[in-house]
Structure 1
Amino acid sequence: MADLSQQEWQDQLKNDSNAVILDVRTPEEVEEGFIPNSKNIDIYLGQDFINELEKLDKSKNYYVYCRSGNRSGQACTIMNSIGFDNAYNLEGGFMNWEGEVAE
């Protein structure tokens, strides 16, 4: 897992043709806004979170975020433990996000 600053995350994402943005917040949090083109899987689903991760393409690069960066860090650790090589955590999370937001 790599922790990326907001700027590093945006720069790396912009130049990554194999990228998937993963939002691990709750549905209620997502309703308040999200990074465009992100896929939401709530980390609080427990085993179902892992089951959903298992359906994803492990050859992709995953840019993971939550509200503050804590849950997404945990999600990256889980992803690494089940065979994802490239999971990047957004430091500071969505509350510090200055990029585009969808609603």
Structure 2
Amino acid sequence: MSDWTKFRDAIEADVENMKLGEEAKQELTKNLALNVMPAVDAWIGKLSAGLIEESKEETGWCKIRDAVVLPYALRAIAYVGKQALAKTMEKTVTA
């Protein structure tokens, strides 16, 4: 076996045997809600604005896709993610 294969197998074995405690899960949930989601929201805002701006040069379905479908789909996905994190934190995360 090559060194890479041994290294890969060792990592896979570690991940397979890894157990996360409740505290680690709560910390991950907090970090996702407080740090990751605001960055995702900012990214979606910029991407949506760019799509809407580009839609002005499009026609037909591409105009509808860029002006409405993609921006609202991205915002909906972010909204669902934020709501799921909020509900999870409400039920599980302690101060």
TM category (shorter chain) comes to under 0.3
In proportion to residue count, which structure has more strand?
1
- Please, what TM-score do these two structures have when normalized by structure 1? 0.21
In proportion to residue count, which structure has more helix?
2
